[in-house]
């Protein structure tokens, strides 16, 4: 069913061109074959007419006995001759098929003095294909008798095309179809490149401008796409710089407030002020880090993932954390090491913060991708919140305590970096409890 209803533009154009060429060739072949068949039947009718007139002129010079003896000898396949001595000739046919009309006209043109009548008779001879009807031509002889010729008509008035013609038709159709497929591919290739560029633009606004060459319409689309990318970059840079400036300017008043809080006499009040200010300062720092990632982007390089994991485990060991590692990367991966480290660090921080017991780090290396899965054994997340936790400043806990609830930007930054690396970051609850965070990166 998909073959009959293709979804891609290339397949639809190919089907359209193939159908158009096939219909055009079928119609032209039918017209050519019809004309060839018609001409063949005309020539055959004229040949039979001249032969019948010559036989009638010859039979006029023979005796009845000689005619009876020679009639079977002069018969041909599709042209049987007999004599009718006592049979009365039929009434002339008023309506004749095209071969009968051509035969009657040819008979009259060949011998205007002789009476000719045409009728139909059913033939059951072995040499008559399909048991078809034969046209009977009655020619009046000089002694008053009639010579009857049974002329076979080709069924439908057509003849099959010769084998060489069929071969030429197939070769022509194959050549035209090949050209049609190449033309369809050349028209759809720029659109495929445009779709790839649009998909890449969603991950990296700072990708190189699109360079599409082809028809004028394709160049206009490329220019419009590059203009859109330029406007988006300008708009995003303006907003990011504005937010970065605001976040940076907040650091100074926060620092002054912390100094003033230290001067409070009430220890409990001073502790609350300092804790809130620390949380504000951490939030500003994470926001600035997020904005720096937006401005700088990522630069891919070929790196050894196993060495990165060894370094992570060494750093985690200093903190008293020992994630269980399973699997290994079979070959280097084109990625941004700093961004990858930040993603995995964020996932491990969440796993140790909310999980219970051991944290597992699984590496699955495939031909087209590399997956890093971080699993904890905590309570997991409600299914309806598995996507909401990636929203900025969304926290599962109602507490504003940073040590338990976080800032709400960690997973947002992690997924954003994963998209910049061309990968995906997903969350799912394990069947036997706990949360699984899976980072999948493509192999380029």
* Mean pLDDT, all residues of the chain: 77
**CA–CA separation, 85 and 145 (whole Å):** 5
Q: Model confidence at 129, in pLDDT bands (50, 70, 90)?
A: very low
- Which of 282, 297, 312 is the last residue in one of the domains? 297
Q: Model confidence at 127, in pLDDT bands (50, 70, 90)?
A: very low
* Per-residue model confidence (pLDDT) at position 396: 67
Co-location of 217 and 150 in the same domain:
no
Co-location of 289 and 314 in the same domain:
no
What distance, in Å, lies between the first and last C-alpha atoms of the chain?
34
> Which residue range forms the structural domain that includes residue 412?
298-442
Task: Report pLDDT digits (tens) over 161-194.
Answer: 555 666 766 777 788 778 777 877 777 777 777 7
* Per-residue model confidence (pLDDT) at position 319: 81
Q: Give percent of the chain with pLDDT exceeding 70.
A: 79
- Count up the domains in the chain and report the number: 3
Sheet bearing 424-429, strands edge to edge: 324-326, 360-365, 369-375, 435-442, 424-429
The residues that bridge with 303 in the sheet, in sequence order, are: 333
The CATH number assigned to the domain holding 384 equals: 3.30.565.10
Indicate whether 430 belongs to any domain. Answer: yes
Indicate whether 117 belongs to any domain. Answer: yes
* Per-residue model confidence (pLDDT) at position 131: 40
Co-location of 21 and 123 in the same domain:
yes
Q: Model confidence at 425, in pLDDT bands (50, 70, 90)?
A: very high
Q: Model confidence at 442, in pLDDT bands (50, 70, 90)?
A: very high
Co-location of 255 and 327 in the same domain:
no
Asked whether residue 25 carries a pLDDT value surpassing 80, the answer given is no
- Which of 297, 326, 361 is the last residue in one of the domains? 297
Is the full-model pTM beyond 0.85?
no
Q: Is 409:330 a contact under the CB 8 Å cutoff?
A: no
Task: Give the side-chain half-sphere CA count within 13 A for 439.
Answer: 27
Which DSSP state fits 155? G
* Per-residue model confidence (pLDDT) at position 436: 92
Co-location of 290 and 316 in the same domain:
no
Task: Give the side-chain half-sphere CA count within 13 A for 341.
Answer: 15
Task: Report pLDDT digits (tens) over 42-52.
Answer: 888 888 888 88
C-alpha dihedral, 317 to 318 to 319 to 324, nearest 10°: 0
Indicate whether 185 belongs to any domain. Answer: no
Mean pLDDT for the stretch of residues 354-376: 88
Task: Give the side-chain half-sphere CA count within 13 A for 307.
Answer: 7
Co-location of 285 and 302 in the same domain:
no
* Per-residue model confidence (pLDDT) at position 94: 65
Co-location of 360 and 225 in the same domain:
no
Indicate whether 98 belongs to any domain. Answer: yes
The CATH number assigned to the domain holding 225 equals: 1.10.287.130
Contacts of 198 (CB under 8 A, 6+ apart): 225
Q: Going along 71-154, which residue ranges are E strands?
A: 79-84, 116-122, 133-140, 146-152
SS3 content of the chain, % helix, strand, coil (to 5): 55, 15, 30
Mean pLDDT for the stretch of residues 120-149: 67
Least confident window among 45-54, 117-126, 206-215, 328-337: 117-126
| Closest C-alpha among 220, 234, 232, 87 to residue 147 | 87
Q: In angstroms, what CA-CA distances link 330 with 45, 361, 367?
A: 82, 16, 10
* Per-residue model confidence (pLDDT) at position 95: 66
Question: Would you state the structure tokens that stand for residue 411, as one six-digit string?
Answer: 């997973």
**CA–CA separation, 41 and 154 (whole Å):** 8
Co-location of 57 and 83 in the same domain:
yes
C-alpha dihedral, 125 to 127 to 130 to 132, nearest 10°: -60
Co-location of 242 and 285 in the same domain:
yes
Do β-strands 301-303 and 133-140 pair in parallel, antiparallel, or remain unpaired? Answer: unpaired
Co-location of 145 and 28 in the same domain:
yes
Which DSSP state fits 76? B
Mean pLDDT for the stretch of residues 144-164: 66
Co-location of 243 and 309 in the same domain:
no
Task: Report pLDDT digits (tens) over 271-295.
Answer: 887 877 777 777 777 776 666 665 5
Q: In angstroms, what CA-CA distances link 375 with 323, 355, 361, 385?
A: 10, 9, 7, 17
Q: Is 371:439 a contact under the CB 8 Å cutoff?
A: yes
| Closest C-alpha among 175, 217, 444, 249 to residue 336 | 444
Co-location of 304 and 424 in the same domain:
yes
């Amino acid at each position: 069913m998909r073959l009959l209803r293709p979804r891609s533009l290339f397949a639809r154009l190919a089907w359209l061109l193939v159908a158009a060429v096939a219909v055009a060739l079928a119609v032209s072949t039918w017209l050519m074959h019809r004309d060839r068949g018609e001409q063949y039947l005309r020539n055959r009718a004229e040949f039979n007419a001249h032969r019948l007139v010559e036989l009638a002129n010859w039979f006029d010079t023979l005796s009845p006995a000689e005619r009876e003896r020679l009639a079977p000898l002069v018969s041909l396949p599709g042209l049987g001759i007999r004599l009718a001595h006592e049979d009365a000739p039929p009434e002339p046919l008023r309506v004749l098929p095209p071969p009968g009309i051509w035969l009657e006209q040819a008979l009259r043109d060949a011998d205007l003095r002789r009476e000719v009548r045409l009728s139909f008779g059913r033939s059951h001879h072995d040499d008559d294909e399909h048991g078809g009807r034969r046209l009977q031509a009655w020619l009046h002889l000089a002694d008053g008798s009639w010579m009857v010729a049974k002329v076979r008509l080709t069924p439908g008035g057509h003849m099959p095309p010769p084998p060489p013609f069929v071969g030429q038709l197939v070769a022509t159709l194959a050549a035209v179809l090949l050209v049609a497929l190449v033309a369809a591919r050349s028209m759809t290739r720029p659109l495929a490149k445009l779709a790839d560029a649009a998909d890449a633009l969603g991950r990296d606004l700072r990708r190189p401008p699109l360079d599409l060459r082809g028809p004028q319409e394709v160049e206009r689309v490329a220019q419009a796409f590059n203009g859109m990318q330029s406007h988006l970059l300008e708009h995003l840079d303006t907003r990011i710089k504005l937010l970065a400036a605001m976040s940076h300017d907040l650091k100074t008043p926060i620092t002054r407030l912390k100094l003033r809080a230290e001067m409070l006499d009430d220890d409990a009040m001073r502790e609350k002020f300092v804790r809130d200010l620390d949380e504000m300062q951490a939030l500003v720092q994470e926001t600035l880090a997020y904005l720096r990632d937006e401005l700088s982007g990522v630069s891919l390089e070929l790196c050894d993932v196993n060495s990165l994991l060894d370094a992570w485990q060494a750093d985690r060991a200093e903190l008293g954390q020992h994630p269980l590692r399973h699997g290994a990367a079979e070959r280097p991966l084109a990625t941004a090491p700093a961004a990858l480290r930040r993603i995995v660090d964020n996932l491990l921080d969440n796993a140790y913060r909310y999980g219970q017991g051991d944290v597992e780090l699984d590496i699955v290396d495939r031909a087209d991708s590399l997956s890093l899965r971080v699993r904890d054994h905590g309570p997991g997340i409600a299914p309806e919140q598995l996507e909401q936790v990636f929203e900025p400043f969304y926290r599962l806990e109602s507490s504003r305590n940073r040590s338990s609830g976080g800032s709400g930007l960690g997973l947002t930054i992690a997924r954003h970096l994963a998209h910049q690396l061309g990968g995906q970051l997903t969350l799912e609850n394990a069947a036997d409890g706990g949360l699984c965070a899976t980072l999948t990166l493509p192999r380029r």
